[in-house]
Amino acid sequence: EAQVTQNPRYLITVTGKKLTVTCSQNMNHEYMSWYRQDPGLGLRQIYYSMNVEVTDKGDVPEGYKVSRKEKRNFPLILESPSPNQTSLYFCASSSPWQGTTGELFFGEGSRLTVL
């Protein structure tokens, strides 16, 4: 089954304790991205990657890191989480959009609470 898998789905942590949210896709997609969803703000892009070893900042990258060492994996790293990073996080992937709709396939989301 084609899917994007995120882990953990739910996490409560404390300020300053480094954490990683993993994301893996089995569709051989080149493009992957992370979004955060906050009430009243919709989804905002954190980082994206167009291919292995190619990453770039989205609209809200502060406090986050990413890496893309393999095509299927795109982990999101919070080196020193703060309460304002409490949010619902989505990983997404897609094939190149030229010639197709290129819709994003989303993971199920990871709800993170930073105390």
Contact footprint for another protein (CB under 8 A) = 31, 33, 35, 40-45, 48, 50, 56, 58, 88, 90, 92, 94, 96-97, 101-106, 108-109, 111
Nearer to another protein by Cβ, of 14 and 41: the residue is 41
Give the span between the Cα atoms of 54 and 51, in whole angstroms.
5
The encoded tokens of residue 103 equal 């819709």
Nearer to another protein by Cβ, of 16 and 97: the residue is 97
Give the span between the Cα atoms of 91 and 46, in whole angstroms.
10
State in angstroms the smallest separation of the CB of 109 from another protein.
5
Residue reference for tokens 């989303």: 106
Pair 52, 71: CB distance under 8 Å: yes
Nearer to another protein by Cβ, of 69 and 99: the residue is 99
